[in-house]
């Protein structure tokens, strides 16, 4: 799809944003971006014109485990909100971590008409102590498996075991890490 949607190599540079900023996007039911705020465009490095109508995986970071997005989509499609730490890749190959709150948007009759994500600066200790090692483990499980399907199942199994051990749901688990 040309340079714009290509896979720029990673620079290894992590960008940060201010604790009083929120990165906002909205999508349609298929995950195509329908709105972004100025902080989003600054952080991802794409223009509004380039983003609107593009799939949100435009900024997918290759080190993110696929199972996290599967859990995110399953939760949204069941009508519930989800909280997750996400590493993103900017256009130039830089990256930036966020703590995202993603929700369905409903119309007056209660039908889901799209999705909405607000992201804040993540806690650095939670990232380094818990999330980076956990996501690395999940990514290893996914990559070591014989097929993408088997990798997804194994990684989801690992998350399920972790949640059972912690006796909490996915969202509570994400919050409990900062406690």
Q: Which residues bind ligand FMN (CB under 6 A)?
A: 25, 27, 31, 56-57, 59-60, 66, 69, 73, 76, 86, 88, 102, 115-117
**Shortest distance in whole angstroms from residue 12 CB to ligand FMN:** 18
State which residue, 112 or 123, has the beta carbon closest to ligand FMN: 112
Which has the closest alpha carbon to 24: 15, 37, 41? 37
When CB distances to ligand FMN are compared, the closest residue is 57
Closest approach, Cβ 28 to ligand FMN, in A, equals 9
Cβ closest to ligand FMN, residue 76 vs residue 174: 76
Pairwise CA distance, residues 28 & 21, whole Å: 24
Helix (H) or strand (E) holding 50: helix 48-51
Count CB atoms within 10 A of the CB of residue 118: 15
Q: Cβ of 44: how many Cβ atoms within 10 Å?
A: 24
Nearer to ligand FMN, 89 or 158 (CB): 89
């Amino acid at each position: 799809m040309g340079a714009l949607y290509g896979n720029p190599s990673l620079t290894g540079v992590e960008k940060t944003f201010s604790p009083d900023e929120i990165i906002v996007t909205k999508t349609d039911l298929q995950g195509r971006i329908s709105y972004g705020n100025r902080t989003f465009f600054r952080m991802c490095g794409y223009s509004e014109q380039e983003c609107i109508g593009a799939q949100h995986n435009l900024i997918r970071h290759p080190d993110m485990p696929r199972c996290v997005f599967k859990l995110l989509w399953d939760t949204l499609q069941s009508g519930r909100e989800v909280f997750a730490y996400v590493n993103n890749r900017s256009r130039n190959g830089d990256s930036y971590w966020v703590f995202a709150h993603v929700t369905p948007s409903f119309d007056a009759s209660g039908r889901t008409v799209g999705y909405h994500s607000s992201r804040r600066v993540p806690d650095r200790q939670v990232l380094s102590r818990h999330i980076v090692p956990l996501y690395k483990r999940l990514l290893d499980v996914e990559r070591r498996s014989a097929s993408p399907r088997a990798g997804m199942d194994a990684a989801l199994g690992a998350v399920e075991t972790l949640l059972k051990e912690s006796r909490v749901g996915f969202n509570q688990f994400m919050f409990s890490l900062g406690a």
